[in-house]
Structure 1
Amino acid sequence: MFYRSGLPRLSPVLRFTAFVAAPALCLAVALVLFGTWSLWATANQVDESIRARQADDVHLALGAVLDDLAQSQAGVAIWDPAYAEVQKARPDAEWLDKNVGVWLNYVFNHELDIIIDGQDRPVYAMRNGERVSPAIFARVQPTLLPLIQAARGSLHRPANTHERLPGQKLAPNTTVRTSPAAFHATDLVEVSGRAAAASVMRMIPDSKLVVGAPGRQPMLVSIRFLDGKLMGDLGRIRGIRDARILSTPAVMKAGMFSVPLRSSQGVLLGHLGWRPDMPGRDILRSIAKRGGAAAAALIVLLAALVFVVGRLMFRDARSIGALEAARVELQAKEARAQYLANHDVLTSLPNRAAFNRFVDGAAGNMAQHALGVLLIDLDKFKHVNDTLGHLAGDQLIQSVAGRLSAQLPKGGLLARLGGDEFAICLTEGLGPEALRALAEACLSELRNPFPILGSEVQIGGSIGIAVGTPRSADRTELLRKADIAMYSVKASGRDGYRFFTAEMDESLANRRELEDDLRKALSARKQLFVAYQPKMDATGTTVVGLEALVRWDHPAKGLLTPDLFIPIAEEAGLIHALGSWVLAEACRVSKKWPELTMAVNVSPVQFKAGDFAAAVRSLVQRCGVHPRQIELEVTEGILLDDGEEVRAALHDLRDAGFRIALDDFGTGYSSLSYLKQFKVDRIKIDKSFIKRVGRDQEAIAIVQAVIALGHAMNLSVTAEGVETSEQGSLLRTAGCNELQGYLFSKALREEELSVGINGIPNLPITGRWAS
């Protein structure tokens, strides 16, 4: 063919080289170059995506700082005592230190707080927790004047997404978390050459008092500099490394990236720079070290094969290569499918199916050793999902998986069974002490706060433990027993662990039997009675009130405490009748002791009834007792429901004169917003904290903080569970108003009250209700 066309005839070697070898080698080089370029482009795309995500995180963090700053101001700016103090001709600076300046600095990290009057004259200032001359306002006034004017309503401009301006609608997509009563201008500003978050809020009373001409109220000015603690928070919470405020944009060649800091009015305040994560670049470097040698070897091998084997073998090699690639891809897909079939996607832990196979295999291979299963169910997980969203819930599940994995003993398996339920299977170290240590370690990790989306979340866990012997290690039976033990923990108040016992298997039957007996006891009114535990003043020498506690003298089971039958009454619909009877008994005894308050516990189920408040008012009125003598104790769970019926009932009862106490304070999601929103009169520190007082420095610090919080909000504080003189002395020194516990007296029957406490007759009582 070549000869006939007039072209010189090529030797077989040259023909092979020209038409086979050269194109093959060129193709190989092109593929290597294309692969290198693809890896480089992909790495850049990944790095750009990471930088964009981190930039979004930075903007979200800055927005959260502005919203948190305004929300923290509302706690003192909209408050009767603070407003009244500022209105005085000479405000008490020490009172403002304790209730405004130190509070905002210590709890919310404010770096500068200034109060100005209606004529923009400074009356108080605190910087970094230390009171300073109000004259410091002159340094920041020019910068903050637009915010002050906007908050007063004298400067009209569109509201940004973080502020609530008088006479203006909220901005679209607003993130402001303050109440409609709070008017504030909040923005990024430059103060003394430093970028800062600033907020100016009107100070008004939270009652219905007249507050003066609109726009001339006192103002609370708060500033938090961005180059302070926020930079550390960005690294610790959001993974933004080496965050810092820059005067000029960062240069990526130096490994830094930045975004401009602008106010809502477009004023450039600087640049926020950080060292972005660059996984793509790291992967590219890793591949470059090994891929170069591999690519060169591949080209050499390909050239050798081309020259030795020829076109036919080359074609076969390509076919074989394609088949091999398809096989590898198929194997990869099968491996991925196998992985997904046995692992939880969110946590990468084994799933329920893998856990079941592991337990079955361990049970089948058992010879002399036992097999243990721990079922772990998270407490308060639903509340996190409801309040912070499902993204926060997913992050919490991932954090829990990491903490539990760190506690897993060697040879054990941790799995996520679904939702907020985890399980551990152990084949070694199954002694009671080792299992207790593992359960306590897991609970300790679950009790520690979880940093989630810029907030600290506190949960707990309920753990059920079951151990099977070599002859009774059936997986279904083990899981059933562990499940029963876990629900036993939940029924007894959660946040703990229990081993399965044979008695638990009878719990359902016993529960039904107790329900029937309780119905009969309520009908007969013979077995139930109310005991009264005295509440003492801070000195521990004077009785100031009683707490009504229902007891059940069961004819077969003996004396039963409320925690054994109140849950049954709630589930069986008997709590309304039981609660009304206890309140009536407490009112009857109150008439004999008009000098004392009478505290009565109220179940959350009772509040669900639409006529609860009216029924309570009617019953107390029929008994001839003044509502102010009755103190209704509620738990935080009632407030967390945030239902309209609960809100309306609490306000109705409080307006009628009843006092409201928040029981077990500190064990749940205690929040200033709940205390301010529901207007309670008293908080009771849970006995779990009091028990540690005198033995744990952290416990007394927590108790002192709760007492200070209560007093700052004009709430009375009661400590329950006081058992030692040392506890009483420490609580008295900390400022606790009332004490209650076995140190003074156990709960007494009605006939024992007249004898006295601890056998001492005529124990003095106060006369606070004598009038």
Structure 2
Amino acid sequence: MSATRFRPVSRTRVPATSPASTTFERLLIAALAFVAVLHSVHHLVPDSALLAAMPGYSLARIETVGNAVTLVLAVLIYFVMARRLRDYQAVHREFTRQHAKDPVSGALARGQFLRKLQSELERRRTSGSVAFVIIDIDHFKQVNDVFGHPAGDEVLGFCTRLARETFPDATVGRLGGDELAVFMSHDEQIPESYVGEACDAYLAALREGLFINNRRQSVSASLGIAMAPSHTCNLNELLSYADLALYEVKRNGRGAWSVFSTEILADMRQERFIERELRAALLLKQLTVHYQPIVDADGQLNSLEALVRWHNPVRGVISPAEFIPVAEKSRLIHDLGLYVMQRVCEDMPQLPGVPVNVNISAWQLKHDAFLRDYIEVLERNGVAPDRVILEITESAMLNTSDDFVARMAEIKRAGFKIALDDFGMGYSEFNQLRRLPFDIIKIDKSYIQNIGTDIVTDTFVSAVTQIAGQMDRIVVAEGIETRDDNVRASVAGCRLFQGYYYQPPVALADITMLYEDPKRLSTAA
């Protein structure tokens, strides 16, 4: 989950001790030390010498006076130390109180929350139940990057307040970063449907949003649910199961909730299988690359998009929608990207003389060796960077920080062109167009296929094409599947088109056969 700035916790002040009180305590300690010396002298000095030094006193009287003074001093020191102990207990209580709550969100701090949850799980082993919910704020890092950390703090506080309101009698805690958690406990079994209704109410309240910089900003979150004792009464297992349910939500698009089930465990095992097989496929060169044309309004070829395909010897065809997310999560995505780049370079001599779009992940851009590794592949194959357009997926993950803008500018200086894929999905925003040096904007097919059906879609597409025209950038309409899609996208201002209406992705041999002239698409579209 996303990094979050924590406000410094104020230091707990130790109760002040007056100078007079400190002097009195020192005198007591000095007096006790003096008495201790007297006792030592009494036992070390001969009786005759002691009686000579203290005329008029008997040995018994001297010892009685010494014992009495010692007792008085001991009682006084006891009361002094008892007072000091009370002071330090007060300090400890204040320290515990301050650290029991997260200073940013107002929720219980992680340690305190987990201790309460552990106690409740032990209490509910034989009767009753506990419903545990992990709340992950979607794209929280982008909120911090775009609006600043104070805005991120406001969002955390907002999410915490709503959790208290929508989950009745629940305990709310912050696990760290962009993760909150809630647990509800009851003497009877808590129905999953009841928890689901509370989650629905929470998500609906988040969508109403809060004001950030005098502008209402909606918030989205992904929720994972685990139940005790039906799933487990072990704290670590409960956290793990809720995490698995949360991951299931993220994999399916975020902004929803899911309850842990054994099927999720099966899916996780499937992911591990895919990761293992994908590593082998990269090593054995079992992946292939297909190409889909991007054309202008006359059907003339403008560029090609390279799309990776996988035919597993055991499972047959595995969809990119299945293995790309696994590659992202396992950090195989950089190796996969380099593999595709190498295959494209090998195919270049047989491809039409147009640029080729190669998909890269937003995560890859954060990889320190990304640019160096891609340039090495091009140099090894004698391919110029201007033959390649780097098409960045997951636009919702792109930030507009100075560091990221500098990284994009470095890629441009190396000679690559950059396309922004799936614009309009997730948290894509116009600030990305203003700050990031894209050459091409690809509008997501969900907008293209709904042009003319609602005013929001029409306004959005029109705004993108007008901004692109003013900034001398190219707009590609994705997902053109029918003639009507093509006509509506043209009227909206798009000038390049991609989709099954023109040509589905095909293998190298097929794409070569489609063209007599490298600039002309030989199809009956």
TM-score by length of 2: 0.65
Q: Aligned match of 2:306 in 537, 541, 548?
A: 548
Q: CA deviation at 1:413?
A: 5.3
Corresponding residue for residue 444 of structure 2 = 686
Q: Aligned match of 1:379 in 117, 132, 138?
A: 138
8 A Cα contact 1:543 1:763, kept in partner? no
> What code does the residue aligned with 2:306 have?
A
What secondary structure sits across from 2:277 in the alignment?
Answer: helix
TM alignment of 1:39-118, pairs within 5 A? none
Q: Aligned match of 1:601 in 359, 362, 374?
A: 359
> What code does the residue aligned with 2:457 have?
A
Q: Aligned match of 1:731 in 489, 492, 496?
A: 489
> What code does the residue aligned with 1:465 have?
I
Q: What do residues 291-318 of structure 1 show as CA deviations (whole Å, max 9, x unaligned)?
A: xxxxxxxxxxxxxxxxxxxxxxxxxxxx
> What code does the residue aligned with 1:549 have?
L
Q: CA deviation at 1:620?
A: 4.0
Q: Aligned match of 2:413 in 635, 647, 652?
A: 652
Distance 1:438 1:647, change over 3 A: same
TM alignment of 1:698-717, pairs within 5 A? 698-717=456-475
> What code does the residue aligned with 2:413 have?
D
Corresponding residue for residue 399 of structure 1 = 158
Q: What do residues 592-614 of structure 1 show as CA deviations (whole Å, max 9, x unaligned)?
A: 34254421112345445666546
Which segments of 5 or more consecutive residues in structure 1 lack a partner in the other structure? Answer: 1-331, 757-761
What secondary structure sits across from 2:314 in the alignment?
Answer: coil
8 A Cα contact 2:290 2:308, kept in partner? yes
Q: CA deviation at 1:673?
A: 5.8
8 A Cα contact 1:538 1:732, kept in partner? yes
**Separation in 2, partners of 1:622, 1:420:** 43
**Separation in 1, partners of 2:129, 2:331:** 43
What secondary structure sits across from 2:339 in the alignment?
Answer: helix
8 A Cα contact 1:379 1:462, kept in partner? yes
Distance 1:481 1:689, change over 3 A: farther
**What's the RMSD between the two structures over aligned residues?**
4.5
8 A Cα contact 2:417 2:439, kept in partner? yes
Corresponding residue for residue 534 of structure 1 = 293
Distance 1:374 1:695, change over 3 A: farther
Corresponding residue for residue 258 of structure 2 = 498
8 A Cα contact 1:356 1:475, kept in partner? no
**Separation in 2, partners of 1:649, 1:563:** 30
Corresponding residue for residue 465 of structure 1 = 225
Distance 1:339 1:608, change over 3 A: closer
**Separation in 1, partners of 2:343, 2:315:** 24
**Separation in 1, partners of 2:474, 2:508:** 27
Q: CA deviation at 1:575?
A: 4.2
Q: CA deviation at 1:357?
A: 3.9
> What code does the residue aligned with 1:710 have?
A
Q: What do residues 93-138 of structure 1 show as CA deviations (whole Å, max 9, x unaligned)?
A: xxxxxxxxxxxxxxxxxxxxxxxxxxxxxxxxxxxxxxxxxxxxxx
**Separation in 2, partners of 1:440, 1:699:** 26
Q: CA deviation at 1:458?
A: 6.1
**Separation in 2, partners of 1:370, 1:543:** 63
Distance 1:593 1:677, change over 3 A: same
Corresponding residue for residue 559 of structure 1 = 317
**Separation in 2, partners of 1:563, 1:615:** 25
Q: What do residues 648-681 of structure 1 show as CA deviations (whole Å, max 9, x unaligned)?
A: 532223xx3x321112323466566654554321
Corresponding residue for residue 506 of structure 2 = 748
**Separation in 2, partners of 1:624, 1:662:** 26
8 A Cα contact 2:465 2:493, kept in partner? yes
- The answer to which of 415-424 and 334-343 deviates more is 334-343
What secondary structure sits across from 1:643 in the alignment?
Answer: helix
Corresponding residue for residue 481 of structure 1 = 241
8 A Cα contact 1:368 1:470, kept in partner? no
Distance 1:728 1:398, change over 3 A: farther
Distance 1:609 1:395, change over 3 A: closer
Distance 1:333 1:576, change over 3 A: closer
TM alignment of 1:225-624, pairs within 5 A? 344=102, 346-349=104-107, 353=112, 357=116, 361=120, 372-386=131-145, 388-406=147-165, 408=166, 410=168, 414-425=172-183, 430-431=191-192, 438-439=198-199, 442-446=202-206, 450-454=210-214, 460-468=220-228, 470=230, 472=232, 476-490=236-250, 494-505=254-265, 511=271, 513-525=273-285, 527-538=286-297, 544-566=302-324, 569=327, 574-594=332-352, 596-608=354-366, 612-613=370-371, 616-617=374-375, 619-620=377-378, 623=381
What secondary structure sits across from 1:484 in the alignment?
Answer: helix
**Separation in 1, partners of 2:307, 2:423:** 18
Does 1:720 find its partner at 2:469? no
| Percent identity of paired positions between Structure 1 and Structure 2 | 32
Name which structure has the greater RCO, CA cutoff 8 Å, separation 6+: 2
**Separation in 1, partners of 2:442, 2:318:** 24
**Separation in 1, partners of 2:503, 2:305:** 12
- Give the count of matched residue pairs: 425
**Separation in 2, partners of 1:557, 1:385:** 42
Corresponding residue for residue 245 of structure 1 = none
Does 1:633 find its partner at 2:396? no
Q: What do residues 692-718 of structure 1 show as CA deviations (whole Å, max 9, x unaligned)?
A: 656554333323322222222121112
8 A Cα contact 2:137 2:220, kept in partner? yes
Corresponding residue for residue 211 of structure 1 = none
What secondary structure sits across from 1:556 in the alignment?
Answer: coil
> What code does the residue aligned with 1:487 have?
Y
Q: What do residues 203-234 of structure 1 show as CA deviations (whole Å, max 9, x unaligned)?
A: xxxxxxxxxxxxxxxxxxxxxxxxxxxxxxxx
Corresponding residue for residue 643 of structure 1 = 403
Q: CA deviation at 1:481?
A: 0.7
**Separation in 2, partners of 1:536, 1:442:** 45
Which segments of 5 or more consecutive residues in structure 2 lack a partner in the other structure? Answer: 1-89
Q: CA deviation at 1:484?
A: 2.0
8 A Cα contact 1:722 1:742, kept in partner? yes
> What code does the residue aligned with 1:377 have?
D
Q: What do residues 713-748 of structure 1 show as CA deviations (whole Å, max 9, x unaligned)?
A: 121112334456655443332112233345555432
> What code does the residue aligned with 1:451 have?
F
Distance 1:448 1:752, change over 3 A: farther
